[in-house]
Chains A and B, each alone.
Chain A
Amino acid sequence: MAPMKDEILFDHHHDEIDRRGFLRCMAWAGAGAVCVLQGGVLTSYALGRGGNSGVKIPKGELTFVQISDSHMGFDKPANPDVVSTFQAAIDKINAMPVVPEFILHTGDVSHLAKPAQFDNVQQLLKSARIKDVFYVPGEHDLVGDDGQQFRDRFGKGTQGAGWYSFDKKGVHFAGLVNVANLKAGGLGSLGTDQLAWLEKDVKHLKASTPVVVFAHIPLWTVYPDWGWGTDDSAQALGYLKRFGSVTVLNGHIHQTMQKVEGNVTFHTACSTAFPQPKPGSAPSAGPMKVPAEQLRSLLGVTEVHYKKGQHSLAITDSSLG
């Protein structure tokens, strides 16, 4: 794909998604797009497959990378080899010009929460040049034991179903769990205990502190018919209203999507295993079967840059092929 030079401007004061821009951002997902937020206005640039194509990506004081939905153990069409694509994601991270500080994995690490599947991910990640990985579980990681094994491996010292927070270079990170104790007919759920914890967790922070919230299922309503949303996310976001810069990073839907609402930027990452259809474009959210040569263009990793003094974080998606 030839590099594009279009820009998408989102009105900072709009509460709705800029649908035109949103769809074009979607269309670029396979080739990679840079979304840069400055002064509350989001500007997106398309990236060529080969790299940055002359687009200057801001180099922040903190750079981290998000991977998601590795579904280790999945072996069906369109990806019978999720090990290779996960390795490709690690290789991509290792080749990044700016060394990321750490990796966030936003869940569905495994396909069926089997010990061998978790082992495999941990083993593969040994080849990553970054050793710090922060996880939150997806619903697949909770299969069978409500996530006990997941927490034993990836969530030591976390609270409740596995939520926690940490600070890096002035940015506050909160890892939330919205896949536990789900109720019939509902969407993702944080629950009262976690909400109370979050309220307390951010209370002491200055409003100028950039906040990054990451969880598996989107914390905004993407498509409720497929369960793509979180029932009590509005309450969580209510605690974050006073902050000037909030970035919400999710996975689960195996495709990139972005929405800006006030000071909050919502972003979902690609899977490293298999793509899922656009909302409502297929009979269900099941794996999208694509020709082998297209697969890697629909998988990817997400890079996030934060520069001190800058209003918001810059988010870059890039595909695995």
Chain B
Amino acid sequence: MQRYRCASILESSTPGRLARICVLVVMGFALTNFTVPKATGENRSNQQVTIDNFSFSPATLTVPAGTEVTWVNHDDIPHTVVSDDKTTFKSRALDTDEKFSFTFAKPGTYTYFCSLHPHMTAKVVVQ
């Protein structure tokens, strides 16, 4: 992500400015990293999984414990987000652009699927 930011700046910057901006961006990241919450629950980070063309993306999402994951459905057909055990988490049917969030408090591998289209499977790895 850091590299991506630098690259996009590169397109619109002179080399001299670029160096300064990159330093600032790197510093910004250093600061961000320093303040990353340690799963306190109050200042937790958020990650997104998108549903496009009947598939979850990314198919495997790795996050630190305490992360809230939000799924958003971009298909014209409703989908659900249901843990394989059907109890850990279970969304209602998400129509187009609707979202569902779940906070993963404990480390582990959480496999899930769409209960309407069970060939749609993916997982969240919580570290």
Interface residues of A (CB under 8 A from B): 76-77, 111-113, 139-140, 143-144, 182-187, 224-227, 283-287
- Interface residue ranges, B against A (CB under 8 Å): 53-55, 75-78, 80, 82, 84, 92-93, 95-96, 111-113, 115-119, 121
Selected from B54, B77, B115, the residue in CB contact (under 8 A) with A182 is: B115
Cβ distance B123 to chain A, nearest Cβ, rounded Å: 10
Q: Are A184 and B121 in contact (CB under 8 A)?
A: yes
A286 contacts B53, CB within 8 Å? yes
Q: Are A76 and B54 in contact (CB under 8 A)?
A: no
Q: Is the CB of A143 within 8 A of B118?
A: no
Contacts of A76 in B (CB 8 A): 76, 96
Contacts of A224 in B (CB 8 A): 119
| Contact residues in B for A77 (Cβ distance below 8 Å) | 76
Chain A residues closer than 8 Å to B96, beta-carbon distance: 76
Interface of A is mostly: loop
Are B54 and A286 neighbours in the complex by a CB distance under 8 Å? Answer: yes
Q: A76-B96, A111-B78, A284-B55 are in contact. List 9 more A-B contacts (CB 8 A).
A: A143-B78, A144-B92, A182-B116, A184-B112, A184-B118, A185-B118, A226-B119, A285-B54, A287-B77
Check A185 against B113 for contact (C-beta < 8 Å). Answer: yes
24 residue pairs of the A-B complex, CB under 8 angstroms, read A76-B76, A77-B76, A112-B78, A139-B116, A139-B117, A140-B78, A140-B116, A144-B93, A182-B116, A184-B111, A184-B113, A186-B118, A187-B119, A226-B54, A227-B117, A227-B118, A283-B53, A284-B53, A284-B54, A284-B55, A285-B54, A286-B75, A286-B76, A287-B76
Question: Nearest 9 A-B pairs (CB), nearest first?
Answer: A284-B53, A184-B113, A227-B119, A284-B54, A182-B118, A143-B93, A76-B76, A283-B53, A184-B84
